[in-house]
Amino acid sequence: MSVDGWHTLLVLGGIRSGKSEFAESLVADAPTVRYVATAPAGDPEDTEWATRLAAHRARRPGSWTTEETAANPGRLVEVIAAAGPNETLLVDDLGGWVTVLLDPAHQPADDTATIAELAAAVRSSTARLVLVSPEVGLSLVPTTPLGRAFTDALGATNRAVADACDAVALVVAGQTAWLKPTTPAPAHAVPPAATSPEAVPSRAATPRTAAHQAAPAQAVPADLGAGDVTLPEVLTPAAAPVPARAASDEPGTGDWAAPTMALPMIATGLVIQPGMELPMPDDYTGPQAVDRLATLDIPGAGLGVLEQVVGFAAATQGTSTPRPWDAVRVLLIQGDHEGGASAGAPPGESSRRARQARAGRGALARLAAENRAGLQIVEAPASAPMEERPALSADEVEAALRYGWRLAEQAADAGVQLLVLAGCGAGAEAAAAAVLAATAGAEPPTVLGRVVTEQGEIDDAAWMVRCAAVRDALHRTRRSAREAKDVLAELGGGDIALATGVLLGATARKVPVLLDGPVGTAAAMVSRDLAGQARHWCLLPDHGGRPGVRLAADVLGLTPLVDLRLDLGEGATALAALPLLRSALTLAATLPVHPSLGGPDDEGDTGERTGTGDRIGGDAGRAEDEPDFAEPEPAGPGPTTVGADEPVLPGRRAD
């Protein structure tokens, strides 16, 4: 087998399902590919068939070679058997091969033996081999003898080849389901990785400014498939001493972040493509947890809007009695944008903020300490002026997505139960506005917040420069595709691409994410086109008064929990609201059921019970000689005594 777990793969799919494009993407990273075309030329007057063949040819890169096997069905077996270990073959497709096999010109023949020879050649092949085949066994049995012969022969071929291959994928409506191995593996081409872990993919076709050329190497490595990439250090800001927790409450003892799926891998690493099928939160436990709140012994109307927090935590934890998040990690992504996007930003301000956080100073580090949260500062690739050229190359987008995914995996492996996603790059808000304009049709001036100087003054001139940069970038890309990776490359830049990877990786590992600011919400907008499930793992504490965040929240269906309009910097606002969210979860998990619904009666049982019935306090654990204190009553004015020298216990009357 190859390093990514397979070297022979069968891709099944219906007509126009996207199976051929998927197969081509899997071998796109290979230096050379031999494309084995099995389909016969067909009727010269059949222009529709000729158009299909021309479309297939047009997609093949110039470095690929093509071999036709339509003249002899046995030729395919010979090609596969003769291919060496350094070769990559793409066979498209076995339906054409079966058509030739059943052609009267090649009969009589032992079709069963020929299919067996093909399966044996696939099983013993040392080359990297991808075979495409139509899946026609899901429809009605054909009414004609020729139709039945074709479906029977193709079904037998698919079964034999699937048994011989290391992996089998089924493509339906552009979505990929992995049938073999039973724990999946991914899709789509990933560009070749750089040889150095510290290297960033070069932007050969995009000239760099002098400032860009002088910048140090960025911290996003391109060879994430190696699995041994050194990720940024996780800092633990100093906090005041807190009471020791029980062993059962320690991070990592639960299964919140257990791996949920084995994702497709190729030699260069993780594959991230549109239409990924990632986990969804539990559909039942969230509503159950909210309904359960109505039974608790809560004075007043209850938790109000914070019921959303309880429902969200219950759905993401898979239990109707969710626990407060204990292990929290903040991911601060630093990545500057050149050009007009950063107009009005003091030079070097984002680097200063990152250094401040590393040193344990500033609002973010102090609030992280108060919340006992880890802090990880990540450098994203600097982004070129989006009004002039693409902010990132395609290679850099792929590397940033994979790197962000790996950061989320690292957090899940460490037992992190909640991620806080934040950014601090110059020009990030303008880039986020461009992403919103491209994905939601927003007008840039309506989603760009005002520019505030270091002295607290409004800089309208800088705001207009940013608006113009976004406008020009949208005009430059008006004919470009609006697919997720295209938007990241043209407009989003390194920080939003990396944040998108974090959201996707967190979704795959069932780790909820607090969004805070334009970078996180823009990443959520992009991630919905890669995996629609990602937004369901996101929570937005406060929109911070930012118009772009409000619009993104509306599009994503995220309701900000509070409207304090805190603007403490990305990440800090979420951490400021986190104690309130934890308090809601603590109450939901520990308050007893109301006595009218079968909960404990305070007159006969002074011990409090949790929602699961566990008793806290009361007679349990009390020494026999302890006094049985009555319900406290207010004492009269002034000191009160029972006798000459006997003071009254607090809350008791002299009589």
SS (H, E, C) 542-566: ECCCCHHHHHHHHHHCCCCCECCCC
Q: Which of 493, 501, 518 is nearest to 433 (CA)?
A: 518
3-state secondary structure of 66: strand
Distance CA 528, CA 452 (A): 31
**3-state percent breakdown (helix, strand, coil) of the chain, nearest 5:** 40, 15, 45
- Would you give the distance in Å from CA 92 to the centre of its chain? 32
Distance CA 11, CA 90 (A): 11
Q: What does R_g of the chain's alpha carbons equal in angstroms?
A: 31
Distance CA 259, CA 486 (A): 29
Q: Which of 17, 9, 10, 12 is nearest to 172 (CA)?
A: 17
Place of tokens 């995220």: 558
CB neighbour list of residue 340: distance below 8 Å, 6 or more residues apart: 385, 387, 430, 465, 466, 468, 469, 472
SS (H, E, C) 619-654: CCCCCCCCCCCCCCCCCCCCCCECCCCCECCCCCCC
Active site residue 370: no
- Beta carbons of 315 and 282 less than 8 angstroms apart: yes
Q: Which of 257, 464, 477, 498 is nearest to 377 (CA)?
A: 498
Element housing 423 (H / E)? strand 418-423
CA end-to-end span of the chain, whole Å?
88
Q: Which of 513, 583, 522 is nearest to 551 (CA)?
A: 522
Distance CA 19, CA 173 (A): 9
Q: Which of 570, 608, 624, 633 is catalytic?
A: 570
The token duo for 636 is 């009269």
Distance CA 554, CA 565 (A): 16
CB neighbour list of residue 118: distance below 8 Å, 6 or more residues apart: 76, 77, 80, 97, 157, 160, 161
The token duo for 582 is 């934890």
Neighbours of 52 (CB within 10 A): 14
Q: Which of 21, 22, 27 is nearest to 7 (CA)?
A: 27
**Residues acting as catalytic residues:** 570
